[in-house]
Amino acid sequence: MSEHTATTTPSGALAHSAREAAELARRGSLDPVHVVDESLTRMSIVRSGADGLNSFISVDADAARAAARALHDQRNDRHVSAHTRERSRSALFGVPVALKDNIATLHLPTTCASRILSDYVSPYEATAVQRLREAGAIVVGKTNMDEFAMGSSTENSAFGASRNPHDESRVPGGSSGGSAVAVASGVVRIALGSETGGSVRQPAAFCGVVGVKPTYGRVSRHGLVAYASSLEQIGVFGRSVDDAALALEVIAGRDPFDATSLPVAVADYAAGANAPHSATAHSATPLAGLVIGRPREYFPASLDPQIRALTDRAADTLRSLGAEIRDVSLPHTDLAIPVYYIVAPAEASSNLARFDGVRYGLRLPGPGLREMYEHTRSGGFGAEVTRRILLGSYVLSAGYYDAYYRRAQDVRQLITNDFARVFAEGVHVLLTPTTPSTAFALGAVKDPYEMYLSDIFTVTANLAGIPGMSQPIGRIDGLPVGGQLLAAHFDEATMFRVAYALERALGDEAHR
């Protein structure tokens, strides 16, 4: 077994899917304490040495073990309350999870990988985290990220860059790179990330795992540190499609603390899908009746021929499973990057104004209030965050708001209309590459605009608010390649139906 295979292959209890591990733990065949110990041991292995993966910012091993012992005791105590007994039957009973470090927790720091919040501990916990805990999941740590979720490589972290477990000289993607690495390196089966323009799907593709961005409004944003509020949402990473589906089911749903979350029913994503435990697991044509769209704009002449070939193979596989493959057009796709990099920085410049040295976080003194603001923000924010704040302030300034921000919002609506038209014409799911390349080398991309282009296939889903996911479809020179599925608003169930079938049909070919 090669070094990289060892780094990315889970063993022992962690080799079980999240669903299997929870079921074994509920029956008493698997001890949550043992599972957490395996996760922490795995974490220490991949973090060790100067060339460690650097995927975690903070870990509380004692709290994780205490939570595992509590679940063990609750399962074995015949005198516990009905509520506690019901919890012992919950979906993620005893399953270790990791959280991106811009998702608020009560005891571990929430730093956003920024010096300005380096010691900050939130007074409340994100709704998504509460729902994980209620489902029996055990938080083992907070993961590394691009500072304030601004980046596509996890190189913009005040705590140093994370590394790709398939090749430690390469980036894991970003901004949720640490969470992707935590799953890909076998520390956990499930991790939470956040998405503003592809920050779950892109690192999932680079690291060879499953990453899901739900419909905007599907998952509560309460407790997610704000970057660009109309674009961002919490997403999930899974070792498999089923891991990701189960995690999304747990955290999804209306939340009274978030006015943007919507009261739309959450489906059992495995039910009726081509999952191993579903009724259609052995159907020869599980996708009969579905139309899979292939957007021309996502397959430009400049696309890496090997990525094109792997995506075409995925399309052929879906066709063999009964789906119709149809060429479609999303004509405003080429405007997505300029629109995104007007809208997102504009909202960021407003949201990040609260980090001023007065309310919380870092404070660097100065002779007056203005100087204190300047010293704190200049010393606390990194270069990429500063760049986006300045850009956002500019496009919102007097005389430029209509020329830039308002016009960008108009074009954003055109992009949204493109998707609505295609889905209205009978397409159920779109298939595209997730990224235009495999993971690039650490330090290789110096030009910010070139870095922004790594999200060219993912930002459209955030602008339109539709669900999307990336799953492994093959490798190029040992590096993972992701295939992206996009669906209509709140139709994650169909997206997962296709993903389950594709994962099952590709089998080991998805990872070689």
Element (H, E) at 474: strand 468-476
DSSP per-residue codes, 206-217: HHTSEEEEPPTT
Own/partner pairs, 265-273, CB within 8 angstroms, 24+ separation: 266/218, 267/492, 267/493, 269/245, 269/492, 269/493, 269/496, 270/242, 270/245, 270/246, 270/496, 270/500, 272/497, 273/493, 273/496, 273/497, 273/500, 273/501
Six-digit token string for 201: 């799907």
Place of tokens 């980036």: 171
Tokens describing residue 509: 């070919």
Residue 501 CA, distance from chain mean position: 21
Q: Which residue has the tokens 């949402």?
A: 233
Q: How far apart are CA 58 and CA 68, in angstroms?
A: 18
Peptide bond into 175 cis (omega under 30): yes
- Would you report the helix, strand and coil content of the chain in percent, each value rounded to 5? 45, 15, 45
Rounded Cα gap, residues 347 and 65, in angstroms: 39
Question: 434 and 470 in contact (C-beta within 8 Å)?
Answer: yes
Distance, in Å, from the CA atom of 384 to the CA atom of 448, rounded to the nearest integer, reads: 8
**C-alpha–C-alpha distance, residues 268 and 278, integer Å:** 11
Q: How many helices (H) and strands (E) does the chain have?
A: 17, 11
Q: Which two tokens stand for residue 501?
A: 């079938």
How far, in Å, CA of 77 to CA of 242, rounded?
A: 30
Give the alpha-carbon dihedral of 175, 181, 184, 187, to 10 degrees. Answer: -130
Displacement of CA 19 from its chain's centroid (Å): 19
Q: Would you give the end-to-end CA distance of the chain in angstroms?
A: 14
Q: Which residues are catalytic?
A: 100, 175, 199
Q: Which amino acid is at 232?
A: E
Sheet holding 324-328, edge to edge: 56-59, 138-143, 96-100, 190-195, 233-238, 210-213, 468-476, 479-487, 429-433, 291-295, 324-328
- Report how far apart, in Å, the C-alpha atoms of 96 and of each of 67, 68, 177, 222, 502 are: 10, 9, 18, 22, 26
Question: What phi-psi label fits residue 488: left (phi over 0), alpha (psi between -120 and 50 degrees) or beta?
Answer: beta
Residue 433 DSSP SS3: strand
